[in-house]
C-alpha cells in the first residue's frame, strides 16, 4: 500500500525550508478540517454549489501537497455535488478517513 | 426548509446574486452588527434568523466578515420584517445600549436595488483597502466618505469597479506602465485565494517582487497599481472568475502576460483560455520547474517582442 502523501514535489517547492513547511502543514491541516466540517454541514443542504466549491478548494491543496488519493476523493465530491445526501455522506466519510491518514503521515514526517 | 447561508465573501456573493437576478422581488434587511463589533455566531442569532425565515423558499442569510448580516426573503413581507426586528431589538438596545435606528437598514429590493449594491461595494472596498494597503488616496477617500453615509456619488463610482476598471485606476495603471520601463526586477501578481497555494508560489518566485490577490477586486486593484510583468491567475475566485479578469487586464493593456492556474482540467476552461489568448495554462499540481519554465518563457517572449 502506497503512502498517503508523496512529499517530494512539495519539498522541492519549499526548497527544504523547515519553517515554511511547518507553516504550510499547519495551514493544510487547519483549512482541511474547516472544509471537512463545512462539507459535513452541507450533506443535507440544498446548496450544491457551496459543496462543489468546498470540495474543489480542498482538492487543489491536496494535489499540491502530494496527497493524490485525497485529491481524487475531493474531485469526485466536486463532480458529484448534486448527489443525494446518502451519497454525499459516503463521500465525506471517505474524505475524512483519507484526510486522517494524510494528517498522520504529515505529523510523522515533520522536521519541526 | 433549509436556509442557504453564505459565509464567504458575503457582500460579493450578494452582488452576484443581484446581477444574476436570483434576488427578485425580495426584501433585504441589513443587520449592522459591525457597529457593536460582534458576529452573528457570538450572539447566537443564526438559528433564530433561520427559524424566522424558514417558510420562505428563497430565504438566505449572508454573513459578512465585519459581522454585518444580510437577511433576504421573498416579497414585501412586512410582518416578517417586524418579527425579525422585534426579536433583535431587546438584544441590541438592552444588551449593548445601542439605538436600534442605526442597527437595521431595510432595502425594498425593487426600489433600493442600487442602494444595496452600493452598500455592498462600499464594504468590499473598505475590506480591500485594509488588506492591500496599496489603494490610491482617491479610492480610500471614497471608502471613508461613504462611511459617513453622505457619499452616494463616490459609491456609485466605486460601484463600477466591480466589472470594469475605473478612470482613476486607468490613470494609476498608465503611470505604473510608464514606471515599468525602469524596473530592474520582475513584478509578479499571484491571483489565488488558497493560502497554501499562494505561499508556495511565492516561495518558488522568491527572487522576484510578488504581490498576492485573493479576490477578483483585489486582483484588479493590484494589477492597476503595479502593472505586473506576469500574472499567475487562478480561475475560480471569490468575486469573479479568472477568465473575466483576463479580459479586463487585456482591455487596458493588451500586452498583459497571463498564465492561468487551476485545479480543474475542464474543457471549457481550456477553450476560454484559448479564446482569451492567455500565455500559459497550468493544471495543479504544478512543480517548481514548471513555474520557473514559465518565467523563462516570459523572458524569451519579452526579448523577442
Nearest to B196 among A17, A24, A66 (CB): A24
B285 at A interface, C-beta within 8 A = yes
For residue B210, name the pLDDT band (cuts at 50, 70, 90): very high
What pLDDT is recorded for position B246?
Answer: 93
Distance, in Å, from the CA atom of B100 to the CA atom of A101, rounded to the nearest integer, reads: 51
Q: Which of B4, B194, B286 sits opposite A47 (nearest CB)?
A: B4
Each residue's pLDDT, cut to its tens digit, for chain A (112 residues) gives: 689 999 999 999 999 889 999 999 999 999 999 999 999 999 998 889 999 999 999 999 999 999 999 999 999 999 999 999 999 999 999 999 999 999 999 999 887 6
The beta-carbon neighbor of B288 closest among A13, A28, A59 is: A13
Mind listing the pLDDT tens digit for each residue in B107-166? Answer: 876 666 767 877 887 787 677 666 554 333 333 333 344 333 333 333 333 334 445 567
Report A:58-97 residues touching B (Cβ under 8 A): 59-61, 63-66, 71
pLDDT at position A98 is 97
* A55 to chain B: closest CA residue: B263
Q: How far is it, in rounded angstroms, from Cα B266 to Cα B263?
A: 9
Top-confidence residue, B73 or B262: B262
B80 Cα to chain A: minimum distance (Å)? 23
Q: Does B241 touch chain A (CB under 8 A)?
A: no
- Binding-face residues of B in 175-204 toward A, CB within 8 A: 194-197, 199-200, 203-204
Is the pLDDT at B296 greater than 70, yes or no? yes
Backbone φ/ψ region at B75: left (φ over 0), alpha (ψ -120 to 50), beta: left
> By mean pLDDT, which of B179-183, B189-193, B195-199 is the weakest?
B179-183
Q: Which of residues 1-20 of A touch B (CB under 8 A)?
A: 9-10, 12-15, 17, 20
CB B208 within 8 A of CB B186: yes
**Residue of B131 and B75 predicted with greater confidence:** B75
Calpha distance A96→B238 (Å, rounded): 25
Tell whether A57 is within 8 A of chain B (Cβ).
yes
Per-residue confidence (pLDDT) for residue A46, from 0 to 100: 85
Instruction: Give B103's pLDDT tier (boundaries 50, 70, 90).
Output: confident
CB contact under 8 A, B236 and A56: yes
Check pLDDT > 60 for residue B241.
yes
Question: How far is the alpha carbon of B233 from chain A, nearest alpha carbon, in Å?
Answer: 14
B107-116, B217-226, B267-276, B289-298: which is most confident: B289-298
Closest CA to B200 of A59, A65, A45, A68: A65
Q: What is the mean pLDDT of residues B254-265?
A: 89
C-beta atoms of B288 and A12 within 8 A: yes
Q: How far apart are CA B219 and CA B38, in angstroms?
A: 29
> Which residues have CB under 8 Å from A112's CB, separation 6+?
A18, A19, A21, A22
- pLDDT value of position B156: 37
CB atoms within 10 A of CB B100: 13
Q: Give residue B143's pLDDT.
A: 39
Supply A44's cell numbers: 443535507
- Chain A environment of B284 (Cβ under 8 Å): 60, 63-64
Per-residue pLDDT, A67: 96
Band (B3; pLDDT cuts 50, 70, 90): low
Closest partner CB to B263 (pick from A27, A56, A66): A56
| Contact call for B263 and A63, based on CB within 8 A | yes
d(CA B204, CA B106): 48
pLDDT of residue B207: 93
Instruction: From chain A, pick out residues whose CB is under 8 angstroms from the CB of B240.
Output: none
Amino acid at each position: 500500500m502506497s503512502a498517503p502523501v508523496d512529499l517530494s514535489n512539495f519539498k522541492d517547492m519549499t526548497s527544504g525550508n523547515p519553517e515554511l513547511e511547518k507553516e504550510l502543514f499547519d495551514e493544510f491541516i487547519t483549512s482541511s478540517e474547516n472544509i471537512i466540517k463545512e462539507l459535513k454541514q452541507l450533506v443535507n443542504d440544498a446548496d450544491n454549489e457551496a459543496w462543489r466549491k468546498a470540495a474543489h478548494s480542498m482538492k487543489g491543496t491536496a494535489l499540491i501537497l502530494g496527497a493524490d488519493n485525497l485529491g481524487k476523493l475531493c474531485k469526485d465530491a466536486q463532480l458529484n455535488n448534486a448527489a443525494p445526501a446518502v451519497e454525499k455522506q459516503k463521500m465525506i466519510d471517505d474524505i475524512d478517513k483519507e484526510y486522517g491518514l494524510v494528517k498522520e503521515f504529515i505529523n510523522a514526517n515533520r522536521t519541526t | 426548509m433549509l436556509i442557504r447561508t453564505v459565509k464567504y465573501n458575503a457582500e460579493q456573493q450578494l452582488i452576484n446574486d443581484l446581477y444574476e437576478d436570483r434576488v427578485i422581488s425580495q426584501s433585504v434587511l441589513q443587520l449592522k452588527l459591525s457597529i457593536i463589533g460582534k458576529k452573528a455566531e457570538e450572539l447566537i442569532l443564526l438559528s433564530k434568523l433561520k427559524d424566522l425565515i424558514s417558510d420562505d423558499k428563497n430565504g438566505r442569510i449572508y454573513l459578512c466578515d465585519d459581522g454585518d448580516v444580510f437577511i433576504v426573503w421573498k416579497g414585501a413581507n412586512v410582518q416578517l420584517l417586524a418579527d425579525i426586528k422585534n426579536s433583535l431589538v431587546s438584544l441590541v438596545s438592552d444588551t449593548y445600549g445601542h439605538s436600534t435606528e442605526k442597527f437595521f437598514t431595510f432595502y425594498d429590493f425593487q426600489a433600493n436595488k442600487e442602494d444595496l449594491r452600493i452598500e455592498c461595494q462600499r464594504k468590499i472596498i473598505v475590506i480591500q483597502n485594509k488588506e492591500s494597503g496599496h489603494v490610491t488616496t482617491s479610492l480610500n477617500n471614497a471608502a471613508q466618505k461613504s462611511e459617513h453615509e453622505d457619499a452616494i456619488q463616490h459609491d456609485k463610482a466605486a460601484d463600477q469597479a466591480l466589472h470594469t476598471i475605473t478612470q482613476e485606476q486607468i490613470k494609476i495603471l498608465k503611470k505604473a506602465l510608464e514606471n515599468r520601463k525602469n524596473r530592474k526586477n520582475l513584478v509578479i501578481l499571484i491571483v489565488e485565494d488558497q493560502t497554501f497555494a499562494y505561499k508556495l508560489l511565492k516561495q518558488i518566485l522568491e527572487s522576484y517582487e510578488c504581490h498576492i490577490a485573493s479576490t477578483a477586486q483585489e486582483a484588479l486593484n493590484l494589477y492597476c497599481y503595479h502593472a505586473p510583468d506576469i500574472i499567475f491567475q487562478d480561475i475560480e475566485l471569490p468575486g469573479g472568475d479568472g477568465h473575466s479578469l483576463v479580459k479586463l487586464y487585456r482591455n487596458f493593456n493588451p500586452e498583459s502576460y497571463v498564465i492561468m492556474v487551476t485545479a480543474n482540467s475542464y474543457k471549457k476552461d481550456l477553450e476560454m483560455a484559448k479564446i482569451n489568448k492567455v500565455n500559459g495554462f497550468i493544471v495543479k499540481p504544478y512543480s517548481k520547474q514548471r513555474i520557473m519554465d514559465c518565467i523563462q518563457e516570459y523572458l524569451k517572449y519579452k526579448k523577442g517582442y
